[in-house]
Structures are given as structure tokens and as C-alpha cells.
Structure 1
Amino acid sequence: MARIAVLGAGPVGVGLVERLLANADLAPGRPIEIMLIDPHPAGPGRIWRDGQSPLMRMNSLAKDITLFPGEAVRCVGPPRPGPSLAEWAAATVAGRLPPVDPELADDVREISPVSFATRRVQGAYLSWFLREVIGQAPPGVRVTVRRGRAVALTGAPDGTERVHLADGSRIDADAVVLALGHLEARPQGEQSEAAGFAERHGLVYLPPGFIAEADLSVLPAGADVLVRGMGLAFFDLMALVTEGRGGRYVRERDGRLRYLPSGREPRLLAGSRRGLPYRCKPSHRLVHGPVRELRYFPPALEQSLAGDGMLDFRRDLWPLIRKDLSFAYHRELFAAAPRHTAMPWPDFARLHDAAAVGELDALAEKAVPNPAHRWNMDELRAPLRHVEPRNVDDFRARFGTLLEQELRRAHDPARSADSAVYGAQLLFFERLARLRPRLSPRDQVEELDGAWFTLFNLVASGPPAFRTEELLALCRAGVVQPLGSGMRVRLDESTGRYRAGSANLDEECPAAALIDARLPEPTLDGSADHLLRALHASGAASEEFLTDPATGYRTPTGRIAVDDRGRMVTADGAAHPARYALGWNTSLRGTRAFAIPGTDAATFRHGDLVARAVLTGLSERA
């Protein structure tokens, strides 16, 4: 019997299992055992497991989450259509699918297509998905689950891969796939300095990591806590130290949300590079329906790719991105809010087609008289750029005004153009990744992974609107003090306190606690995972380096280097024939935990690619 060990049983791992089962005919006539190995429950894994606070929510609409590769996925293996999270919940409530744990029944009942489900109910969806695909396993293939933490991987003399677990046991396999997901990292650089400062002065420092698992009891009631970052980790922290400590929200008669403190909350002094949370997750109903195609990118790109030369991101791609996003925005704006436009749509579309990128702003000024209804990339990137330094009270009032504007925008049907931009960005997200080989290493790092991905996150990775409304209520209650953009933290040895300032404050704020509210960046030598660090130290795993011999450019990415079949690359540059890696922290990139139904998601394409490589490799070695 051939044995495949999958290290990591969260969404990436169970998604790989589905692809291994779907492609099992690549190893005909040979029994196969697929072993899922994880210290956490198979399916939910670490992040989505049961037992966590119901305050922890998904950051995507329930209708936009699926684990099933449908017909739209362009992969070699067969599709497996199935329900989205929203559809699964509806079928479960209606009794067409097995019931969930009674403790999660209310979580499931509250799910609608446009709701943000709890993470623990997403774990139930993952568990059901795994049971479903295992139940459809072809003859001769079985899936087993082993609870345990892999700490080492060695090769036996006969070519067998040996997985060593923390309890001293071992598992032998013919192929091993690392599907490790997000891992903790040891503090490095400024994080290490902040940790050392905390140790010297008896302060609190929480490095990047999973806020939902952090020991927040070290944050006493009433204490000032500096928070670097206003993304998803910040909102997790915000929920856990407010509602999680007994506070509650009430709706006033005028519709305003008010926070009633429990008295156990710390005070969060929060800032970031942008100074505001990302724009609320778009959820408008589109007049034109979902954006299905880009107008300028495909034909122009076909012409650009006709030759063998490299592409220049700023010259060849950025103008197309800019123009397609502008078209998607204005097409929806003219349909949803024609009162804000000053010319017929056919005239605008004709002028837009003929305009160079540098002419788009002038065209928008003619077509959309009110600047507040134009698509403004600078406003999106740096909304506080014109806010002069002021004291904390004045800035908090200004910050509250901006949050109110953001909430009105999120709930205004006339702003559905924001959702159209989001839809166009999703198309770009999948397609730009395929052009990576045609870009220079510098363009890959600074433009594709840098400028473009930042723009994508500003629109696509924002919080649900209800979180922004809660943040506004907490600012009014004095539980959150915003610090603004360009946040900087100084380690003041003379006073033994962290001190934070920003571009929008004329003073510094001291505190005895500092939290870096974000997930760690991918890293091998800095990983807190014993297995990954040991593989790297021995040369069995290597870090991806992007190198351009022509210019001398060379930079590490922190990602596990794999070849185009997902095989791990050793320190001497060889691809290991029986060890693979899959996930966001590999050089394949693009693999996210979940995909949007009806899309050609890289998550599915990469999973299919690696699954087929594993199965083909088994046959070749046999």
C-alpha cells in the first residue's frame, strides 16, 4: 500500500485530500492510504476549531466561501461541485444535511448569504466537507487521521519518508506534503528589540501572532495598550477585550450604536501606516451583477505575451489595471447613481476607451462633478494625508468623522461601484499571479507583492461594516484612542515606557504594553515551528530567493522554495522526489484557505497540481 502523509489538516490540507481523491486514478491498481497529521482537529485545524469565542468571525461573506472546486476551475483533475458556506448552512437548517453540534445550532441558523459567520461554524463546515469527500473515496483509497505534532522528517535507507511526532512515535510514508498554514515566528528585528525592552523594564509585549490564542489577561483593566496595526488582528483584539470582558453594545433611538463598558477593558491606543482600517468589505447589490470579465486587460495582455521578452509592471500592467478598475467603477456608478454623472454612459464609455491612463482623471472630473463620487486611488491609499498634526482629542473627533463617512458609504446603494471595483480586483488577483514568471524579481517584490497587493487589500480585505461601527462606538466611549497614520513606537529607556507618535499627532503617547496586531510574515529560519526550522537548518528545505543576475538584485522572501510541481527544493537546488509543500508560505503562492464560488481560484489549481504530482511520483517511484 502506498502511503501519503499530509502534515497539516486545516483547509489547505483537507483541500489537498479532496484533490488526491479526485485524481486517484493516476495511481491505478495500487491501494493508497492518505494520512492527515495535525495536533488540531482535522478539517478546522488550528484557526477554525470549535471551542473558540463566538466573537471571532469570518472576514468574508458566507456566499463567498467554498471548499469545492467547481466547473470554473481550470485544472487537469475533475471538478467536484458543492455548496458554499451559505448554501451548506441553509441545507443544514432545512434538514437536508446532517445537523451540527447543538452548541453551534444558533450560529448556523443566523447565517445568510451576506452574513459573516463565526469561525467555529466555519470549522463545522470544514469537518462536514472532509467527511463528505472521504465518503466518496474511490475503491482502494482510504483516509486516516492522526492527532499529533510532526517535529522531524527523515529519510530511511529504503527511500521511505519517516515522520517523527512529538510523542516519540513515527509514521512511515512514500510521500509527504507540508500543508502547514500560518505558523508562529520568533521575534526578529524591531520585534526582538521591543521584546527585550519589555523584559528589561517589566512591560508587556505581544509579537505578531494569533490574537485569539494570546494570553490577554496580561492587559489589566484601564491600562493603556499601544497597538500597531488596524487590520483583522486588531479587530479580534478589540472584540476580545471589550465584549469578551463583559461590555455590550446598545442601539440608541437615533440609530447610533453605543458601547456600555464593563469596567474591565484596557484602553487601546491604535495606529498603523494608513491610520484607518481598510475600507469596509463591499457588500452592495450590483445593478450590473458581478463583474465577469475585464475590458482592457485580456486583449492587451495577449499582445504583450506574444513575444518572449519580460514584462515591465509599471509600463505593461499597471496602466491596464488602472484603466480596468476605473471602467468597472464608472460602469456601475452610471447605472446605480446617474444623478451623480454629467454625461450619457455611451459617451463616457467611448471616451474612456480612447483615453490614455493619464487622461482618466480629467475625464472623471467632466463626467462626475462631485469629487466625493469619483474613484480616487490616493484617497484610498492615504485618507489622512491632509490631516495636520493635532492633539489626541481633536484627532479622535476627526477619526470618528471619517469612520461615519465610511459607514455611510458601505450602506449606500448608490455606492455599489465600490463593489464593482472589488469584483474586478478579484479577477486581477487570479490573473496577475500567472504573469509572475514574466516579471523581474524586483517587480515581483515591489510591484506585484507590494503596490498591487496593497491596493487589493485596501478594498478586498477590510472589516465587515459592523466591526467599523463597533470601533466608532468604542472611540466615542474612550475605550479606543486612534493614533493616526505613519505610527511609530519609540523605546524610551529613560522612562521605561513605550512611546508612540504618528504623522497626525503633535504629541507622543506612553504605555507599558505594546501589541503587534498582525500575523507573522513567512519565514524559515525564524519560524517557531520545530519541523520547518529543522528542515531548513539541515538543508532539506530552502528559502526562496528572488535573484536578477543582470542587476544584482537579490532578496529572500521567507517562503519555502518548491519547484513547479510543488516539490521541496533542497539547499543544493535539487527537487526532492517525495517531499512537497503547499500553501501561502511556499513559492507557489496564491493558495488561500477558501475560494469564491464560480471562480478559477489558485487555491484549487495549485492543490490539483500538487496532488497530481504526488500521485504521479508514486507511480514513477513504484
Structure 2
Amino acid sequence: MNGSAEAALDGVYRIGVVGAGPKALFALESLVRRLLAAGGEVPRVAVDVIDTNPYAGSAYAPDQPEYLRLNVSAGIVDAHEPGAAERFVPSFHQWAVEHAPQRDQESFPPRSTVGEYLHCAWNRVQEVCSDLQWNTVTARAVDLTAVGGDSAEPRWVVHTADGEQHGPYRQVLLATGHAPDHDGALKHTWSAEIPLVPQVYPVQQWLSQSKIPAGATVAVRGGALTFIDVCLALTQGRGGVFTTGEDGHLRYIPSGQEPSRILPVTRSGLFLDAKSGPCVTVEDLDTVLDHARVRLAAQCTITEVINTVQHAAAEILDRCTRSTASDAAWEVSYTARNGAEPGSERLNRAVRVFTRSIEVAEGRADPGAAWALGAAWAKLYPALVQVVSFRDLDAGDWAQFRQMAVTMERLAFGPPLLNARKIAALIQAGVVDALWMRQGVGIAATGITGLDESEPRPDVVIDAVLPPPGVVGTDQPMYLSLLERGTLTVPPGRRGVMVTPSGQALNSSGQAVAGLSVIGRPTEDHVLGHDTLNRALHTMPQGWAQAVVEHITQRPGGTP
């Protein structure tokens, strides 16, 4: 073992945190403020932060291009514990006023700028409590084992890919974020002669000219947010320019270095709808939402939860001053089942549905059922998190909710209007082609399937499907090992591990695992919507910190 393991019995209460992204930051910010509040009751505490890319990660790497933007409003980005009086770290906007004034007023700033803010927040958290010892371990955790103590008070050792062992720890928090790989990745089965680009990030490496030459015909597996980043990297990232025409529409001026065509292939046959702006007035919207929240809090079944969301969407559509819906309830129900509004089944469906979402967001088209469902889902999402998370649902109930959630997420959590308008401009310029976004066309191990003889063949294929949330089907040896031993468990039909509201892991017998907690993306499905920068959406970081401090202060000196 390394030095931290050899010093395990020196009276220091040791904590291991695997992962150094936003969720770990939130949890440790709450821990630090509680340690300071406890004052003299607390023994010496040491925290090891273990990650392959500490305090940055790929999602918010400060060195990524500026055209890769945040997909949520910067107004929610705040590492400060909600409701806590003393502020250790500023909000993103407070930080930006001093350190990035050119980004202060941007609703969707570059992710690189958000990464700089998160790095600053990590530094503030580590500086505010001088008695707390911090250690950074730059390595990938591949296993976690219990040693010494007993089942009620185990010590935990983290094993890393370099063969080292770190610990033993009294507490381990797993906050690992996105998995590095997954079973469904094309690279595991690819046998086609077409060159495969197996991932997207970092775009500077994987979407370079050497891998995707200028003028190439490019097929992309996936049409969601990562696909948008692919398009921007291959156009704006290669010197192409977006300008605003006299009609107010964006136009794309090519550089000559972009691909000739980018052809996405998706399961739904649709792009994500653009985020809606504040251009639609709904009479008594707060009353509609308040009534829906009351109904959600009282629901017993998933069917009732889904019906409540659809009922709220129909009310919103009825009360919308610009709505032309003749039967709001029927149109909402149809859209929820089919993913797009009535009449969308005609030729070139993907482009027409996407274009309409932009026109609604800009205020140039009357809102319909898709907009109303997206608005209802987004505004009721905090209530849904409270109602669905930690529930003991059978596989059928969960499948029903998940099917609805997939549709709603496409309507509610799509790209910012600016990025949607850029994709529309690329479609208009012929760079992005929705030809293959139709039933029957897919990307399999052998290449593009379902093409007609006359259709183009790609020069290269890009896999733009990220590893799913949770731990099922992802390449994370540590979680696989813990699941095999029964230390962690996944509910039937879901992807994330079971935990208590404070993040404490539950084993295969449903019992809490002493000293082991999991928060963030690995718990997704069991905890709804945990893959977010919105700290106000969940209380697990505070719950974990409170439980740890209570455990520490019950044992003066940090010893059993």
C-alpha cells in the first residue's frame, strides 16, 4: 500500500472520494462547512480525491473549444450549498464578473469557462479549512475492497489501475460521473471496412483532419447533444463561419475544410427540439403548476404520475395565448405517444419537426403540444425527482416511466436556441443531411444498414453515443466487482445502484453498507435526474456530509 495506507492508524479520520467532478465538489463543500461548524469536536480529517483527470474531466475541460457550450442555464451553476448562510464559493455568475466578464451575461457559456469556474471552486473548498488534509491521487479506481474492522465498521481500500492501493478509509464516496466506455459502443463489434471514429471527446483529438478529411461523407451514430458538438467541431471548428442574414436567420459560410455531408442516424428519427425562450405567455401558469405538484405528491402509481404531467401540458396549451390547438388533451396525448405533433409523419419529418421547434422558440410560430409537454416536464422536473426517486417500482412500472421520460427529455432538454439555429443553418447549407433519419436505416457492426442502392456510402463513421447513466453495461471494473460481490445492487429494469437519501449504498440484501456511499450518475434511475449541474435539485451531497460528520464526532480522535 502507499503512504496513506501505512499511516491509517495515526488517529486521522480518512475519507476516500473516487471522482473529482461537480458531484464530488458539492459533497465536499458541504462536508467542509459542517466540519468548520463542529469546531473542536472534530479530530483530524484527511481526504484523498482519486480521479484520472482531477478537478476538470472531459465534460468541463478548460482547454476545449469555446463553441462547445453548456446545455443548461448558467444561472443554476453554483457550488454553494443551497440555503447555507456562509458562502465559501461564488456562483458562476459572481465568479464570471471578475474572471470572465465577457461571459457574465451568457445564458449558455462555453463549457471550458464553466470548467475554469469549477476548478476555482475546488480550490476555494480546499483552502477554507486549513486543518483538513487534502491529497490528490491521479489514477483510475478499478476495485474497492473491505479490510480489517468488522461488518459494522469496515475499512475500505481503493485499488487503482497502476497497481497501487489507497487507504484504508473510514468512508468512501463514489462520485465517478460518466463511464469511459460501454457495452454498446461500436468499437467492440465493428467489422466494416469503413474507418470508425470510436468517440468524440476530446474533439481536438478524435475529430481532427487526419481522422475526418475535408470533403468526406460522414455518418454519425446519434443525433442528440453530442451530435451537435460533432457538427460544430467539423464546421465552426475548422474555420467555418455563422452569420445572420437580413431575414434574421443564421447562414453558414464554409471554409472548405469541413466534410461534404454529415448524415446522422438515430433510433427515433428525430433531432432534439430546441429549448424554448420566454416568448410564450400562459395565463395563470403558476396555478397550473402548483395544482400539478400537489397531484404529483399524492400519486401512488406511475400511470397517475404520467397522466398528471400530460394533464398539466394540456392545461398549459389551453391557457397559452397563442395556441391554436382545437383539442389540447388529444394533441398532447398523441405527441407523448409518438414523439412529435399530429401531422408530423409526412416527408422530411426530422427537419420539419426540428425547424418548427426553433420557430416556436423564436416566437415566429404558435406553440403546440410538443412545446407544452416540454414546458410541463421541465417545470415539474424537481417535483418528479422527489416523487420518483428511491421508489420501489417493479420493472413494468419503471419501463412505462422510462419510455415517457425518453420522449419528454427530447422535448424539454434539447439544445440552446443558438446551437439549434446553427444546426438549422448547416441543414440549409447541405452540410447536415437528414436523409438517413428514417425507419429502417441503422448503424451496425457491418456498417450502414437499410440503404438503397443509389444512396451515398460514407467515408467514415463517428460513434456519437455516450455511455449510458448508471452502471449497467458500462466499462467500470470497480462497479462490476462490487455488484458481483453483492456490495452494491441495481433494482430490476434500471441502470443505477440503490442508495439511501443520504447516498449510503444498499447491498443485495437491501441493507445499508457501512462507510460506502454513491452519488451522481452511477445512481441514475434509482435517483432521478442526478446527472446535473443543478445543485438545488438534490439534497444527497448535504445528507452524505451530515452523516459523515455525525459519524466522526461520535468517535473522538477518529478511532473506534
Q: TM-score band (shorter)?
A: 0.7 to 0.9
In the alignment, structure 1 residue 457 sits paired with structure 2 residue 457: no
Cα shift at 1:2: 0.6
The count of residues paired between Structure 1 and Structure 2 equals 529
Letter of the structure 2 residue corresponding to residue 321 of structure 1: V
Please give the residue correspondences for 1:216-231 in structure 2 after superposition, counting only pairs within 5 Å.
216-217=207-208, 218-231=211-224
Residue 149 and residue 244 in structure 1: after superposition, are their counterparts in 2 closer, same or farther (change >3 A)?
A: same
Letter of the structure 1 residue corresponding to residue 181 of structure 2: A
Q: Corresponding residue for 1:181?
A: 177
Whether the 8 Å contact between 1:225 and 1:269 is mirrored in structure 2 is yes
Q: Corresponding residue for 1:45?
A: 57
Give aligned-pair identity as a percent: 23
Q: Corresponding residue for 1:36?
A: 49
In the alignment, structure 1 residue 606 sits paired with structure 2 residue 557: no
Q: Corresponding residue for 1:406?
A: 357
In the alignment, structure 1 residue 238 sits paired with structure 2 residue 231: yes
Query: Matches of 2:329 and 2:509 in 1, distance apart?
Result: 54
Q: Corresponding residue for 1:529?
A: 476
Query: Matches of 1:211 and 1:615 in 2, distance apart?
Result: 38
Alignment equivalent of 2:449, drawn from 479, 486, 499 = 499
Q: Deviations over 1:257-299 (max 9, x none)?
A: 3323233322211132343322211221565799656243344
Residue 237 and residue 4 in structure 1: after superposition, are their counterparts in 2 closer, same or farther (change >3 A)?
A: same
Whether the 8 Å contact between 2:296 and 2:387 is mirrored in structure 1 is no
Q: Deviations over 1:311-347 (max 9, x none)?
A: 2322x2233222222333444x23xx5xx67xxxxxx
Query: Matches of 1:441 and 1:26 in 2, distance apart?
Result: 42
Residue 118 and residue 289 in structure 1: after superposition, are their counterparts in 2 closer, same or farther (change >3 A)?
A: farther
Q: Secondary structure at the match of 2:383?
A: helix
Q: Deviations over 1:186-213 (max 9, x none)?
A: 434xx55x753x43x4323345664647
Q: Corresponding residue for 1:17?
A: 28
Cα shift at 1:126: 0.9
Q: Corresponding residue for 1:277?
A: 271
Whether the 8 Å contact between 1:227 and 1:234 is mirrored in structure 2 is yes
Cα shift at 1:560: 2.8
Letter of the structure 1 residue corresponding to residue 433 of structure 2: Q
Please give the residue correspondences for 1:142-291 in structure 2 after superposition, counting only pairs within 5 Å.
142-158=133-149, 159-172=154-167, 173-188=169-184, 191=185, 195-196=188-189, 198-199=190-191, 201-207=192-198, 210=201, 212=203, 215-217=206-208, 218-266=211-259, 267-284=261-278
Cα shift at 1:6: 0.8
Query: Matches of 1:22 and 1:13 in 2, distance apart?
Result: 14
Cα shift at 1:424: 4.1
In the alignment, structure 1 residue 519 sits paired with structure 2 residue 466: yes
Q: Which deviates further from its counterpart, 275-284 or 427-436? A: 427-436
Query: Matches of 1:401 and 1:521 in 2, distance apart?
Result: 28
Alignment equivalent of 2:92, drawn from 78, 85, 104 = 85
Residue 234 and residue 280 in structure 1: after superposition, are their counterparts in 2 closer, same or farther (change >3 A)?
A: same
Q: Corresponding residue for 2:497?
A: 560
Query: Matches of 1:160 and 1:78 in 2, distance apart?
Result: 34
Query: Matches of 1:543 and 1:513 in 2, distance apart?
Result: 39
Query: Matches of 2:114 and 2:123 in 1, distance apart?
Result: 14
Q: Secondary structure at the match of 1:284?
A: coil
Query: Matches of 1:251 and 1:163 in 2, distance apart?
Result: 53
Q: Corresponding residue for 2:66?
A: 54
Q: Secondary structure at the match of 2:457?
A: strand
Q: Corresponding residue for 2:302?
A: 313
Residue 296 and residue 523 in structure 1: after superposition, are their counterparts in 2 closer, same or farther (change >3 A)?
A: closer
Residue 402 and residue 171 in structure 1: after superposition, are their counterparts in 2 closer, same or farther (change >3 A)?
A: closer
Letter of the structure 2 residue corresponding to residue 156 of structure 1: V
Cα shift at 1:408: 2.4
Query: Matches of 1:322 and 1:185 in 2, distance apart?
Result: 35
In the alignment, structure 1 residue 296 sits paired with structure 2 residue 301: no
Query: Matches of 1:220 and 1:286 in 2, distance apart?
Result: 43
Cα shift at 1:381: 1.6
Q: Which deviates further from its counterpart, 276-285 or 437-446? A: 437-446
Query: Matches of 1:402 and 1:298 in 2, distance apart?
Result: 29
Query: Matches of 2:328 and 2:140 in 1, distance apart?
Result: 59
Query: Matches of 1:492 and 1:420 in 2, distance apart?
Result: 39
Query: Matches of 1:179 and 1:4 in 2, distance apart?
Result: 13
Runs (5+) with no aligned partner, structure 2:
1-11
Q: Secondary structure at the match of 1:514?
A: strand
Cα shift at 1:362: 3.7
TM-score (norm 1): 0.74
Q: Corresponding residue for 1:381?
A: 339
Q: Secondary structure at the match of 1:585?
A: helix
Letter of the structure 1 residue corresponding to residue 267 of structure 2: R
Q: Corresponding residue for 1:577?
A: 514
Over aligned residue pairs, what C-alpha RMSD do you find? 3.7
Query: Matches of 1:438 and 1:150 in 2, distance apart?
Result: 30
Residue 111 and residue 422 in structure 1: after superposition, are their counterparts in 2 closer, same or farther (change >3 A)?
A: farther
Query: Matches of 2:89 and 2:374 in 1, distance apart?
Result: 24
Query: Matches of 1:607 and 1:39 in 2, distance apart?
Result: 22
Query: Matches of 1:22 and 1:540 in 2, distance apart?
Result: 34
